[in-house]
Amino acid sequence: MALANAQPHESRLYYEFSHLYDLLFRHVFYPRIATVIRSLAVEPGARVLELGVGTGLSLAAYPRHCHVTGIDLAPDMLERAQDKVNRNGWRHITLEQGDALNLRFADDSFDYVMAFHVVSVVPDPCRMMAEARRVCRPGGIVTIINHFRSANPTLARLMHAIDPLTRWLGWTTLHLSDVVDRSALHVERQWKTGRRSLFTIVVARNAKAVPAARRVPRSVHAAAALAPD
C-alpha cells in the first residue's frame, strides 16, 4: 500500500511527541478502554482490528484467545506498540503500518473493529467509518470511544474554552450523528462513563446484508436438518 502521501494524524502530537503519549494518556484512556473491551466478551478465535492503535495503550486489555491486528500510520507510535508486544509475548497481536481511510483488508475480514480516540483525528471520519464497516463482517461489532460535541451546555462551554488544547490534540467538534448516522451501523449501546465525561462510547452492529453469492438457500438448511446422522 502506498503510504508516502498519507499523514499520520491531523495533529503533530501523534508523530513528533510519541515518546510522551503514554505518559500523557495512559491513566486517562486505558481504564475506559479496558472496561469497554471486557464488556464485549470477545469470543475465542475472534478476529479484531484496531484502527489507530498508536503506542498500544489498549493492547493489554485484549484476551489472548482472540487475534488482534492493530494499524497506525505513525511509525514512531507503532515502534512503541511493538515494544509492548515483544516485551509481553503477545503472540495474538500483529501490528502494521496502515491507513484507516484506505484499509488493505478484504471485505468482511474481522468480527470486531475498534476505533478508540481516533475518529476525530483523521481527516475524513466518515470515510474511516465506511472502511470499518466494509472490513467488518455482517453482524460484527464496531466500537467507538471518542469525544464529540456535547449537547450539555456546560460541557459545550468547557470544550469551547479549551479549544486551543483540543486543536493541539487533533480533536474536532464532530457531532456523534455526523459519524454514526452516515455509517449505516445499528447502534446497540451508547453511553458515557459519567455525567460530566467528555467521552462517548458506542457499540454498534454491522447491519450490512450478506452478499447473495454467499447466502445458503433455505432448502439447503432444511435438507441438512433432515439428513440422517
One digit per residue, pLDDT tens: the chain, 229 residues?
335 444 544 445 555 555 666 766 676 779 999 999 999 999 999 999 999 999 999 999 999 999 999 999 989 889 999 999 999 999 999 999 999 999 999 999 999 999 998 988 888 999 999 999 999 999 999 999 987 656 666 656 665 555 555 555 555 566 677 777 777 799 999 988 777 677 889 999 998 766 554 444 443 333 333 333 3
Strand partners, 206: 185
Return the CATH number of 13-208, one of 3.40.50.10790, 3.40.50.150, 1.10.260.40, 3.30.1950.10. 3.40.50.150
Contacts of 120 (CB under 8 A, 6+ apart): 146, 147, 148, 170, 171, 172, 174
Check: CB of residue 52 under 8 Å from CB of residue 115: yes
- Residue type at position 23: L
* Per-residue confidence (pLDDT) for residue 120, from 0 to 100: 82
Handedness of CA 163, 166, 170, 174 (dihedral sign): negative
Contact yes or no for 139/118 (Cβ under 8 A):
no
Distance CA 42, CA 177 (A): 26
Cβ(100)–Cβ(128) below 8 Å: yes
Residue 103: other Cβ atoms inside 10 A: 20
CA dist., res. 19 & res. 37, Å (int): 25
Instruction: Look at residue 142 in the predicted model and tell me its pLDDT.
Output: 98
**Rounded Cα–Cα distance for residues 144 and 23 (Å):** 23
Q: At which residue does the C-alpha cell 489498549 appear?
A: 58
Question: What size, in residues, is the chain?
Answer: 229
Q: Which of 85, 87, 120 minimizes the C-alpha distance to 14?
A: 120
Q: What are the helix (H) ranges across the chain?
A: 13-16, 18-40, 75-88, 125-135, 153-161, 163-168, 176-180, 218-226
